[in-house]
């Protein structure tokens, strides 16, 4: 009985401190919007922003290539030769396998 009374006196004297500690534990770790989850969300948002920037630069590069192909017939011929191995009727094409040991 004395231990229970001692515990009750401890709680009575430090009720504000215990309330603040319980609040910090709940908000910091147990809540759906806890600080730990907020840090994880911030890290994920930073990763997604870098991915957005990467796709934006890739889109800009592809747009420039598309503009170049719409205007320049030499560029169209270059792409057709390099990517699709097209040739003129009087030409021969030699393809070499790349060295895969590297």
Per-residue pLDDT at 100: 54
Q: What is the CA radius of gyration of the chain?
A: 34
Cα–Cα separations (whole angstroms), residue 40 to 23, 33, 49: 21, 11, 14
Whole-angstrom distance, CA of residue 19 vs CA of residue 11? 10
Report the pLDDT value the prediction gives residue 98, as an integer from 0 to 100: 75
Residue 41 has pLDDT above 90, yes or no: yes
pTM above 0.85, yes or no: no
Contacts (Cβ under 8 Å, ≥6 apart) of 27: 34, 35
State the sign of the Cα–Cα–Cα–Cα dihedral 77, 81, 82, 84: positive
């Amino acid at each position: 009985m004395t231990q229970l009374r001692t515990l009750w006196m401890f709680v009575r004297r430090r009720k504000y401190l215990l309330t603040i500690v319980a609040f910090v534990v709940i908000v910091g770790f147990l809540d759906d919007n806890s600080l730990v989850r907020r840090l994880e969300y911030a890290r994920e948002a930073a990763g997604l922003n870098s991915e957005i920037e990467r796709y934006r630069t890739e889109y800009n590069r592809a747009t420039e290539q598309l503009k170049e192909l719409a205007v320049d017939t030499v560029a169209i011929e270059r792409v057709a030769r390099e990517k699709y191995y097209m040739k003129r009727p009087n030409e021969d094409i030699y393809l070499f396998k790349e060295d895969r040991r590297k």
